Amino acid sequence: MGALVDALVPRERARGIAVLPRWIDESALVAAGVEPWTELPLWIPLADPATSGFMEFSCAKAQAQGLQFRPLEVTLDDVAAWLVTRDNEAAWAHTLSAAKERLLLAPD
């Protein structure tokens, strides 16, 4: 997740969007009722027994058959280009709301 955030920050800043990522402890996300994978894409709590190991698998067999990985930055640029070509009206309807994000980021 850190590599993804690190790759996204300069892209947003280049678009004139001042971003400053803040990491939030997973227990705070769980306590706030943040819906894993939906409200916060790509996040699944480590302590959730139903999804234990979901993001931990070996790609060795696929790599042995020729799977090659593209640089993350190339994928991000391609996804950004694709997003502007499609109807995104409802794309973010179920993600974390701005109000819930503000509550999570509010100082104690």
CA 20 – CA 43 distance, rounded (Å): 19
**Residue 69 parent element (H or E):** none
- Domain limits for position 90: 2-105
From the list 101, 78, 107, 103, the residue with the least C-alpha distance to 19 is: 101
Domain count for the chain, please give it.
1
- Please report the pLDDT score of residue 53 as a whole number: 82
Q: Helix (H, G, I), strand (E, B), or coil: what is residue 40?
A: strand
Please give the model's pTM, rounded to 2 decimal places. 0.75
Report H helices in the chain.
2-14, 26-31, 60-64, 72-83, 98-105
Distance CA 105, CA 108 (A): 9
Q: What is the pLDDT of residues 48-96, one digit of tens each?
A: 888 888 878 899 999 999 999 999 999 999 999 999 999 988 888 889 9
Q: Are 95 and 38 in contact (CB under 8 A)?
A: yes
Percent above pLDDT 70 for the chain? 99
